Amino acid sequence: MQLRLDQLPAHLSKGASALKPLYTLYGDEPLLAQEAGDTIRAAARAAGYTERQVHTVSGAHFDWSGLLGAASEMSLFGDKQIIEIRIPSGKPGKDGSQALQQYCSAAQGNDGLLTLVTLPRLDKTQLNSAWFTALDGTGLTLRCDPIERAQLPLWIAQRLSAQGQQVEPGEAGQRTLAFFADRVEGNLLAAHQEIVKLGLLHPPGTLTIAQIEDAVVDVARFNVFKLSEAVLSGQIERTLRMIDGLQAEGEAAVLVHWALTEDILGLYRARTALDGGKPLPMVLREQRVWGPRERLFERILPRTRTAALARLVAHASTVDGIVKGLRHPQWPQDGWEALRRLALELAQTAQGTAPGATHGNAPAQTHR
């Protein structure tokens, strides 16, 4: 039977009598699977399941008979036991399918056994298989999917609330959560670590966007994001110095290129939207531009030509090939040298000193 992850604490709070003989966790979000597993283990230990065995199914030669034997054996000391079955591939095979079905039948009649099965993300065929149907019918099944970007701010807010912290009310807080989510999207474990760090750095209460920027950006590739601020501020000397530092520290050239390209594409898309008649505040919201980056975009966009940003987009594409080993006759062959040139062009555009970059005395929002 399926159970949502947020329903698990309430289910386990009912005590030992509510525990099911088998729990199945599946999905590709390791943090949620780990937390759900820890919660189930803690409830089982509180109910007297003091022994634990772990069986990892690796390859086609796994000893399924040993697992079936472990399920039927009684503890030497009469203690209840937890048996964990980990199937990293999500494919137990023909023998494993039969063994899991037999195991489920044995587990239902063994009051001294609680089983925890962990699986990766499963496709439709696997979900409809006989072995998974047996697991689902024997106990509870919990799906551990990644938190989508749209739900991530709420997830962050709930985690902060659990440790006695919250963001500012209203739109300011929503923007803070969006900023946070943008920095940890796609890496829930990093998001969890940053939330825990905020709990260590600051007492319970309201967190400002400045506090979150300082803490989260520092871990979320602090130097790369600071490079973005330097480039968009038009700080040419600082930009070149930071690129030298990133190269010396062994940072990946592709990551630096990604950071520069994100700014270039963001500016180009925003400028195109302005050309289409949209107001600047709406454009920045749609492009998910927050915090210091928002203020920099507000300064750059009204006086920057679309054609200049289109050239930067083309140059970013060229540099993408260079850092991956392709050559271009009009660009340096070395990836880091190409990155310096691209960063310099972007900084000059932000500064308003690049040839043809600005509108001069044109109004803030021009139309083609």
Dist. CA 25–CA 33, nearest whole Å: 6
What is the DSSP-derived secondary structure letter of residue 58? -
Dist. CA 278–CA 296, nearest whole Å: 18
Name the token pair of 190.
């990093």
Size (the chain), residues: 368
The label of the residue with tokens 């949502």 reads 4
Contact 347, 234 (CB under 8 A): yes
Domain 5-143: what homologous superfamily? P-loop containing nucleotide triphosphate hydrolases (3.40.50.300)
111 CB-contact burial (10 Å; exposed 0-12 / middle 13-18 / buried 19+):
exposed
Dist. CA 190–CA 184, nearest whole Å: 6
Name the token pair of 262.
């994100």
Contact 95, 65 (CB under 8 A): no
The label of the residue with tokens 């409809």 reads 128
Contacts (Cβ under 8 Å, ≥6 apart) of 72: 106, 110
Sign of CA dihedral 310, 316, 320, 322: positive
So what's the pLDDT on residue 348? 94
Dist. CA 88–CA 84, nearest whole Å: 12
Rg (CA), the chain: 27
Question: Among candidates 137, 172, 173, which has minimal Cα distance to 154?
Answer: 173
The pLDDT profile of the chain, 368 residues, written as one tens digit per residue, is: 999 999 999 999 998 888 999 999 999 899 999 999 999 999 999 999 988 999 999 877 888 988 888 777 665 556 789 999 999 999 999 999 999 999 998 888 788 899 999 999 999 999 999 999 999 999 999 999 888 878 999 999 999 999 999 999 999 999 999 889 877 877 888 899 999 999 999 999 999 988 998 888 544 344 677 788 889 999 898 888 889 888 887 888 999 999 999 999 999 999 999 999 999 999 998 888 877 788 899 999 998 999 999 999 999 999 999 999 999 999 999 999 999 999 999 999 998 887 766 665 443 343 33
Q: Where are the beta strands (DSSP E) in the chain?
A: 22-26, 49-56, 80-86, 113-119, 140-143, 165-167, 205-207
- As a whole number of Å, the end-to-end CA separation of the chain is 58
For 152-219, the fitting CATH number among 2.60.40.10, 2.60.120.560, 1.10.8.60, 1.10.10.10 is 1.10.8.60
- Domain extents for the chain? 5-143, 152-219, 222-351
Dist. CA 19–CA 42, nearest whole Å: 12
Which strand ranges, in their side-by-side order, compose the sheet holding 49-56?
49-56, 80-86, 113-119, 22-26, 140-143
So what's the pLDDT on residue 230? 86
Contact 297, 270 (CB under 8 A): yes
Query: Is 222-351 assigned to CATH 3.40.190.10?
Result: no
What are the CA-CA distances from residue 142 to residues 33, 145, 315 (Å)?
9, 10, 47
Distance of alpha carbon 42 from its chain centroid, rounded? Answer: 26
So what's the pLDDT on residue 188? 86
DSSP 3-state assignment of 119? strand
So what's the pLDDT on residue 251? 86
Q: pTM for the whole thing?
A: 0.60
The C-alpha angle with vertex 67 and arms to 137 and 111, in degrees rounded to 5, equals 55
Sign of CA dihedral 205, 209, 211, 216: positive
